[in-house]
């Protein structure tokens, strides 16, 4: 690479080191070989990170590099890496170049300079994201790739620390050693984000309850968030005296103290298996990112003061002061690293880039249908085992031929999965002793124990964070978000974290989970918007996310099997939407007709492949497309239309993602008329996707849709003025004919 443009921070380092004098014998004892080695290793990681930042800036100016949020000023985080093992899972702040290089030095054969530069130039052979994004990530180094969403990785870090201990208790083997420590770093501005405060609160809640949680929280406090200063002393005041959270603090321009303080903090967490907080005071050099003009909000005096606290200067001075290196040797080492980085950058520029949509999206939604079917249809516990479990205090299951409601069927499917696979966990607010607000998880806590069925804090981000960590630790989480409206408090844990993990790790890491969400509307006697939410738009635009929407009891059990299998086999993230109003429904047309109950699907046969619909009737006049509560309404409307001589076929989509496109097109072509009965909203609802799929498939017949209004759902009977109803379905059908 051509000689990079000089940066003030680069010039300042060289000028200051050149002006240093070789000290005589230090007043304190000279460092021993181990201490000297530690300082040299620290310095090598720090200067490597600095030159990577300088190279990234230069590559960006040349239009060949695509990421320049640098680590300059934060290189003291290399001391944290030195205090940990390369097998300790690390979820890192995006200014973690020093940490990454120092950790790589702990494992022979690694090439961290290449790793980072391949990411900067978006080369396909970058070892973690494969050119999809610039991340600090490497499975051999236990560094998990992170997004740039503010603090979104903290709930996952808490969940992973929890899951490491829980998996050990359950005898489930994971990727990391039993005595591992999870390290999670973040900035001072990020510490104010609700996601961070919620995650730290969850960690403290676990500590208060004496639940093991080996988590080292590292706040890299550079005193500013992009352009907004953090008040002096704010981090110490906020976290310095939190009950249950030991506080360690050190300045990044104190290299010897950094090494010792980080080691004390890490050792404390490893011994006690409880969280601790390391406050690492840093500076931010060269602005926020490549496009940031720091002089627009900081004076030159402030910038110069920050440069005097440069951790590279501090480590270089310590090496000179203790007689480990001369000033000239410090400069030589620095310039040799510059040359090495420049040569590596030139090599990286010639590496292959991603070239096709298929290659780019390959890690998003892996699917092996045959393996999913095998897992979903494999025998669970025997009848004798289930009876024995009931004798031990569990809830006896209904007889094989008994007709079940939707809630009963889901409950039995959950019990089947818990019995089948010791990695399965069921958790959420009120799911354990109470058995869920609607009794769907009733009896599972008593039968399978608090280690596998447990209540959580009332915090959706933490519930999903627990699932994110559990999946990484080798477990198979089935969390519950109590109502669909509450998901939106934590949707980014699905969108920005769970669903992107495979993309940012080229499939190396996955977040297998099945998130159960009671939702939709039509509850009688209880409701209002937050308990009757029909908004699914936030779920339908997430690439790779599986969204199941069962309505009939037998479908629900079979689809839950499929989702758990897809999570177990392919690491898929699945959302399982359960219509609350149908949980305990038994009848379809008349009182006591039991038309909405079904026998539990036999193990070995009850499997619904992803993206497959279910058709009722085979009329040739009209195709009614629906799902969820709309299915019951459509079936009743179809019966009345049949009495008028209208031949209707009803297609229950069952899966909102992936959408059953081929079956949808076939059913539409069979009649030439499609009416979509959609209980979600006119805008952003299911029907928009269905119409688009039909048009894209080349359907040229008539299409119409009836939906709920673009409105929140009010209390009482007023709700039925904005919701889809049977009268509207039937009226629209007759108008189409």
Query: Could you list the active site residues?
Result: 531
Element (H, E) at 347: helix 327-349
Torsions phi, psi for 265 (to 5 deg) = -65, -45
CA distance 570 to 573: 9
Give 508-536 as a 3 state SS string: CCCCCEEEEEEEECCCCCCCCHHHCECCC
The DSSP secondary-structure symbol of 2 reads: P
Tokens of 189: 């501005």
Largest Cα–Cα distance in the chain?
Answer: 105
Consecutive H or E run containing 578:
strand 573-579
In which order are the strands placed within the sheet that holds 215-221? 143-144, 90-91, 182-187, 215-221, 276-281, 247-251
- Which CA distances in Å does 240 have to 246, 278, 651? 8, 10, 59
Residue among 78, 22, 597 at smallest CA distance from 326: 22
b vs e for 615-633, b when ≥16 Cβ sit within 10 Å of the residue's Cβ?
ebeebebbbbbbbbbbbbb
Q: How many residues does the chain have?
A: 737
Listed in sequence order, the residues at least 6 apart from 458 whose beta carbon sits closer than 8 Å to its beta carbon are 429
3-state secondary structure 262-324: HHHHHHHHHHHCCCEEEEEECCCCCCCCCCCCHHHCCCHHHHHHHHHCCHHHHHHHHHHHCCC
- Measured CA distances, 293 to 285, 286, 289 (Å): 12, 9, 9
For 455, the 3-state DSSP assignment is: strand
DSSP state of 180: -
DSSP letters spanning 414-441:
HHHHHHH-TTEEEEETT-SSS--TTSTT
Tokens of 216: 């080292």
**Which residues, listed in sequence order, are joined to residue 251 by a DSSP beta bridge?**
281
**74 token code pair:** 């934060």
Token pair in block for residue 43: 């310095």
CA 86, CA 74: separation in Å to the nearest integer? 20
* Contact present, 155 and 465 (Cβ < 8 Å): yes
Helix (H, G, I), strand (E, B) or coil at 452: coil
Chain centroid to CA 357? 23
Measured CA to CA in angstroms, residue 171 lies from 167, 513, 573 at distances of 6, 19, 24
């Amino acid at each position: 690479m051509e000689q990079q443009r000089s940066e003030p921070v680069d010039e300042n380092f060289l000028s200051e080191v050149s002006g240093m004098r070789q000290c005589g014998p230090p007043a304190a004892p000279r460092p021993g070989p181990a201490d000297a080695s530690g300082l040299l290793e620290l310095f090598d990681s720090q200067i490597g990170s600095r030159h990577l930042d300088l190279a990234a800036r230069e590559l960006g100016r040349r239009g060949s590099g695509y990421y320049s949020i640098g680590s300059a000023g934060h290189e003291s985080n290399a001391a944290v890496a030195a205090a940990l093992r390369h097998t300790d899972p690390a979820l890192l702040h995006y200014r973690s170049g020093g940490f990454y290089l120092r950790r790589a030095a702990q494992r022979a054969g690694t090439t961290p300079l290449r790793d980072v530069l391949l990411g900067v130039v978006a080369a396909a052979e970058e070892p973690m994201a494969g050119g999809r994004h610039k991340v600090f990530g490497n499975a051999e180094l236990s560094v998990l790739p992170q997004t740039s969403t503010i603090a979104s990785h903290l709930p996952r870090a808490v969940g992973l620390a929890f899951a490491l201990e829980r998996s050990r208790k359950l005898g489930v083997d994971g990727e990391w050693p039993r005595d591992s420590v999870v390290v999670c770093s973040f900035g001072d501005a990020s510490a104010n984000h609700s996601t961070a405060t919620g995650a730290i609160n969850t960690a403290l809640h676990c500590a208060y309850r004496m639940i093991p949680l080996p988590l080292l929280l590292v706040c890299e406090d550079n005193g500013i968030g992009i352009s907004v200063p953090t008040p002096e002393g704010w981090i110490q005041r906020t976290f310095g005296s939190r009950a249950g959270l030991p506080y360690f603090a050190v300045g990044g321009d104190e290299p010897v103290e950094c090494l010792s303080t980080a080691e004390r903090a890490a050792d404390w967490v490893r011994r006690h298996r409880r969280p601790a907080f390391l406050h690492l005071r840093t500076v931010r050099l060269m602005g926020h990112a490549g496009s940031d003009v720091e002089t627009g909000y900081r004076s030159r005096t402030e910038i110069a003061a920050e440069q005097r606290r440069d951790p590279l200067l501090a480590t270089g001075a310590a090496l000179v002061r203790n007689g480990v290196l001369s000033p000239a040797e410090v400069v030589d080492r620095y310039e040799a690293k510059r040359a090495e980085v420049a040569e590596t950058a030139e090599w990286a520029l010639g590496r292959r880039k991603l070239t096709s949509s298929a290659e780019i999206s390959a890690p998003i939604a892996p699917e092996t249908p045959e393996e999913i079917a095998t897992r979903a249809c494999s025998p669970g516990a025997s009848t004798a085992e289930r009876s024995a479990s009931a004798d031990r205090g569990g809830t006896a299951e209904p007889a094989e031929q008994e007709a079940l409601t939707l809630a009963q069927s889901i409950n039995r499917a959950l019990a089947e999965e818990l019995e089948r696979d010791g990695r399965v966990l069921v958790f959420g607010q009120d799911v354990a002793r109470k058995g869920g607000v609607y009794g769907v998880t009733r009896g599972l806590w008593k039968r399978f124990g608090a280690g596998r069925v447990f209540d959580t804090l009332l915090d959706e981000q933490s519930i999903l964070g627990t699932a994110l960590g559990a999946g990484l630790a080798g477990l198979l989480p089935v969390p519950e978000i109590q109502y669909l409206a509450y998901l939106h408090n934590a949707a980014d844990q699905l969108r920005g974290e769970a669903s992107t993990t495979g993309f940012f790790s080229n499939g190396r890491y996955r977040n297998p989970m099945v998130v159960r969400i009671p939702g939709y509307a039509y509850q009688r006697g209880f409701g209002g918007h937050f308990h009757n939410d029909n908004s699914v738009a936030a779920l339908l635009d997430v690439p790779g996310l599986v969204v199941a929407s069962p309505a009939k009891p037998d479908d629900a059990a079979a689809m839950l099997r499929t989702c758990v299998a897809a999570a177990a086999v392919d690491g898929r993230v699945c959302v399982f939407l359960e219509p609350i109003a149908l949980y305990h429904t038994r009848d379809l047309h008349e009182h006591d007709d039991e038309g909405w109950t079904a026998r539990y699907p036999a193990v070995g046969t009850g499997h619904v492949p992803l993206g497959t619909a279910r058709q009722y009737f085979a009329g040739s006049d009209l195709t009614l497309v629906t799902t969820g509560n709309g299915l019951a309404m459509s079936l009743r409307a179809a019966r009345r239309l049949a009495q008028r001589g209208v031949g209707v076929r009803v297609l229950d989509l069952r899966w909102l993602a992936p959408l059953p496109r081929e079956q949808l097109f076939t059913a539409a072509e069979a009649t030439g008329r499609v009416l979509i009965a959609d209980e979600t909203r006119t805008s952003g609802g299911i029907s928009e996707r269905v119409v688009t799929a039909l048009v894209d498939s080349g359907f040229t017949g008539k299409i119409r849709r009836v939906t709920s209004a673009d409105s929140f759902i009010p209390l009482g009977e007023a709700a039925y003025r904005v919701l889809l109803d049977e009268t509207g379905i039937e009226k629209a059908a007759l108008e189409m004919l």
